[in-house]
């Protein structure tokens, strides 16, 4: 490896160039389209560069009256999902991480197994039940549905986080006379805080992006992803680009923050379609 | 028993909400979904007629083959491309951290948005056709999403773009866990680069590859958003087919279709572990 020939080096840089191009090009196209005049895009030969910048699609989106309600709904649902997931999963993951090896393995396997179920198979009976419970079209119904996928996912991450905290830490706190709840809140939680925060942000993102349950459970009020889908179905070329960009903004921001925590051990459960 | 409860009361209290939720909102619904498939939509009688109806429908049969096809195509592209990118990223070169961030970028794009974006790339008047036209490879634009095998490729590629960061991260972690000594030993033996890759890297990377293949395959079988956006109804997949039946209020058929999908996923995971992995990768992996 010490003496790398010039030839290899060229190959590496060429590969890097092609890879980067493929990663960036679609994003560029999306943003370009949202700022382009229709005649640049809706033609046999779309242009690659932006010639006439226009803000009219963005103006339409903001003035259409179809933006704020989906934004509010997506934001509320994602935040509530995150908070509820935190409340349910944090104690559970701690408990799982402190179980004996066999019980822990069974729990983790069950969590993994629930990920294998097709979402359409779960969404179907859920929507039938929610219809009876009058939960269709409500924020809380969607939160309950989003939790289905997010609880196992978050538990997967947090069990790893809690497992990494050594037992000794608790024991020494117990010797110092702390009760179990005190040990938890004063010793364990602060140490686990970073993992918990990362997991919570991921849950928020997943819920913000979620499409399938929203499609099954919404009749009139849409979330942002549904709003995009609505324009895709109607062929609203420019609206969908603008909505998609808006949907992506918080995701890009949060991913940027999360990037340094992106380690593959967090990803075991993070792989999402 | 009571003693046991007393000793572990805190643990049990902590585990209860999560366990109940998974039971009530995953296990019971999925059982219901399976049962629905064996019941008549209107009378609720137990019957196999729903399955007879499904398997006589050409669209449903197509959806099975499309689902399997897109998984095979997607996995092949994702693992080979992911491996390639991971190996490139493992090299030392200038601007490596920037490139790493770039490769991870699609991860920060919602699946739905990537679907919309790739609609612009693969549309008949899209950018891929334009690029091919300008290079001089084609005269007439190709209809990529018309419903032939090329549509499967389009969806597989769209999926690849979206998930490549995750595949790369998983494989890169595997690559980085291989110690340098192994390569030094093989270079003393005079092994070529290809030999290194074939006889050192690949076998040692097997746990990481197993993990990636299983995780990706499960998601790929369930693929929903991308086909829903990119090809609509013209190319059915098991998930989108199940949704179509639901949208037409054929709840039984929808339940049956998702049961077929579940069975498909289970068969794949078992086959993979039995024949390809032979119990090696999963036991040493997670």
Q: What is the ipTM of this complex?
A: 0.86
Q: Is the pLDDT of residue A269 over 50?
A: no
Quick: pLDDT tens for A5-18.
Answer: 778 888 888 888 88
**Please, how many CA atoms are within 13 Å of residue A7, restricted to the half-sphere of its CB?**
0
Residue A18 forms contact with B (CB below 8 Å): no
pLDDT tens sequence for chain B (286 residues) = 677 777 778 888 999 999 999 999 999 999 999 999 999 888 888 989 999 999 999 999 999 999 999 999 999 999 999 999 998 888 888 877 788 778 877 877 888 888 888 888 888 777 888 888 888 777 777 777 776 788 899 899 999 998 998 899 889 888 888 878 877 777 777 777 788 888 888 888 988 898 899 989 999 999 999 999 888 778 899 999 999 999 999 999 999 999 999 999 999 988 988 888 775 655 444 4
pLDDT digits (tens, 9 = 90+) for A71-103: 999 999 999 999 999 999 999 999 999 888 888
Chain B neighbors of A255, CB-CB under 8 A: 104, 107-108
pLDDT at residue A144 above 70? yes
Most A CBs within 10 A among B9, B13, B25, hence the mutation to make, goes to: B25
pLDDT higher at A64 or A189: A189
Mean residue pLDDT of chain A comes to 85
- Nearest residue on chain A to B193, judged by CA atoms? A1
The helix/strand/coil state of B141 is coil
* pLDDT for residue A59 is more than 70: yes
pLDDT grade for A265, boundaries at 50, 70 and 90: very low
d(C-alpha A179, C-alpha A159), whole Å: 22
Mean pLDDT of A217-239: 88
Size of interface A-B (CB pairs under 8 A): 258
Instruction: Name which of A42, A265, A273 is nearest B222 (Cβ-Cβ).
Output: A273
In the block, tokens 């090896």 appear at A101
Taking CA atoms, B158 is separated from A12, A247, B226, B263, in Å, by 24, 18, 8, 25
Q: What is the pLDDT of residue B126?
A: 79
Q: Which tokens sit at A160?
A: 């790893």
pTM value is 0.87
Task: Say whether B32 and A125 touch across the interface (CB within 8 A).
Answer: yes
Predicted confidence at residue B272, as pLDDT, reads: 87
Q: What letter does residue B39 receive in the DSSP assignment?
A: B
Query: Which residues partner with B46 through β-bridges?
Result: B39
Spatial distance between the Cα atoms of B167 and B100, rounded to a whole number of angstroms: 13
CB-based burial label for B52 (10 Å; 0-12, 13-18, 19+): exposed
Is residue B118 within 8 A of residue B230, CB to CB? The reply is yes
Cα angle B47, B49, B50 (rounded to 5 degrees) comes to 100
Residue B277 Cα distances to A78, A115, B206, B274, angstroms: 38, 21, 8, 6
Q: Any bridge partners for residue B39, and if so which?
A: B46
pLDDT of residue B21: 95
- Picking from B43, B77, B116, the residue whose alpha carbon sits closest to that of residue A248 is B116
The secondary structure of residue B235, as a DSSP letter, is: S
From B229, B182, B209, select the one nearest B276 (Cα to Cα). Answer: B209
Mean pLDDT, residues A227-252 taken together: 87
Question: Band of the pLDDT at A4, cuts 50, 70, 90?
Answer: low
- The pLDDT value given to residue A72: 94
Q: Which two tokens stand for residue B201?
A: 């890297």
Q: Say how many C-beta atoms besides its own lie within 10 A of residue A1's C-beta.
A: 9
CB B127 within 8 A of CB B133: no
Tell me: the pLDDT tens digits for B59-72?
A: 999 999 999 999 99
- Alpha-carbon span B271 to B275, nearest angstrom: 6
Q: How far apart are CA A26 and CA A24, in angstroms?
A: 6
| Interface contact A271-B269, CB threshold 8 A | no
Contact A248 B30 (CB under 8 A): no
Please answer yes or no on whether B112 and A33 come within 8 Å at the CB atom: no
| Pair B223, B53: CB distance under 8 Å | no
Identify whether the C-beta of residue B104 lies closer than 8 Å to the C-beta of residue B165.
yes
């Amino acid at each position: 490896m010490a003496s790398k020939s010039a030839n290899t080096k060229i190959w590496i840089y060429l590969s890097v160039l092609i890879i980067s191009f493929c990663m960036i090009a679609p994003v560029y196209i999306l943003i370009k389209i949202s700022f382009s005049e229709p005649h640049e895009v809706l033609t046999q030969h779309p242009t690659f560069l932006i010639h006439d910048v226009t803000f009219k699609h963005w103006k339409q989106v903001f003035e259409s009256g179809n933006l704020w309600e989906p934004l509010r709904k997506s934001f509320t649902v994602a935040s509530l999902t995150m908070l509820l997931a935190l409340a349910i999963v944090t104690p559970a993951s701690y408990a799982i991480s402190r179980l004996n090896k066999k019980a822990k393995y069974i729990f983790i396997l069950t969590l993994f197994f629930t990920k294998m179920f097709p979402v359409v198979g779960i969404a179907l009976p859920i929507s039938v039940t929610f219809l009876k419970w009058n939960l269709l079209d409500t924020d809380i119904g969607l939160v309950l549905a989003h939790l289905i996928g997010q609880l196992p996912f978050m538990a997967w991450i947090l069990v790893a986080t809690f497992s990494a905290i050594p037992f000794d830490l608790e024991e020494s706190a117990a010797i110092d006379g702390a009760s179990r709840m005190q040990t938890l809140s004063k010793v364990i939680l602060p140490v686990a805080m970073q993992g918990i925060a990362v997991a919570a942000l991921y849950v928020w993102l997943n819920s913000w992006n979620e499409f399938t349950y929203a499609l099954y459970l919404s009749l009139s009020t849409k979330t942002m992803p549904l709003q995009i889908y609505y324009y895709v179905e109607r062929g609203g070329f420019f609206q969908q680009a603008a909505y998609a960009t808006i949907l992506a903004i918080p995701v890009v921001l949060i991913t940027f923050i999360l990037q340094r925590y992106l380690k593959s051990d967090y990803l075991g459960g993070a792989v999402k379609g | 028993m009571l003693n046991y409860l007393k000793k572990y009361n805190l643990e049990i209290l902590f585990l209860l909400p999560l366990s109940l939720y998974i039971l009530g909102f995953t296990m019971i619904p999925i059982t219901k979904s399976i049962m629905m498939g064996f019941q008549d939509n209107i009378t609720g009688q137990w019957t196999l007629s729903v399955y007879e109806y499904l398997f006589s429908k050409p669209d449903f049969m197509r959806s099975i083959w499309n689902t399997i096809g897109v998984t095979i195509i997607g996995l092949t592209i994702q693992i080979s491309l992911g491996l390639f990118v991971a190996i490139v990223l493992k090299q030392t070169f200038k601007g490596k951290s920037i490139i790493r961030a770039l490769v991870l970028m699609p991860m920060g794009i919602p699946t739905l948005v990537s679907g919309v974006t790739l609609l612009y790339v693969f549309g008949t008047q899209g950018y891929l056709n334009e690029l091919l036209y300008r290079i001089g490879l084609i005269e007439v634009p190709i209809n990529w999403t018309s419903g032939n095998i090329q549509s499967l490729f389009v969806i597989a590629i769209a999926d690849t773009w979206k998930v490549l960061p995750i595949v790369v991260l998983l494989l890169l972690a595997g690559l980085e866990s291989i110690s340098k000594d192994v390569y030094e030993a093989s270079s003393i033996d005079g092994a070529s680069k290809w030999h290194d890759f074939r006889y050192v890297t690949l076998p040692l990377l097997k746990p990481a590859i197993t993990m990636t293949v299983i995780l990706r395959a499960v998601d790929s079988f369930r693929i929903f958003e991308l086909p829903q956006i990119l090809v609509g109804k013209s190319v059915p997949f098991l998930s989108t087919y199940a949704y179509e039946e639901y949208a037409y209020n054929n709840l039984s058929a929808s339940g049956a279709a998702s049961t077929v999908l579940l069975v498909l996923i289970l068969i794949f995971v078992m086959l993979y572990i039995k024949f390809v992995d032979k119990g090696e990768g999963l036991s040493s992996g997670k």
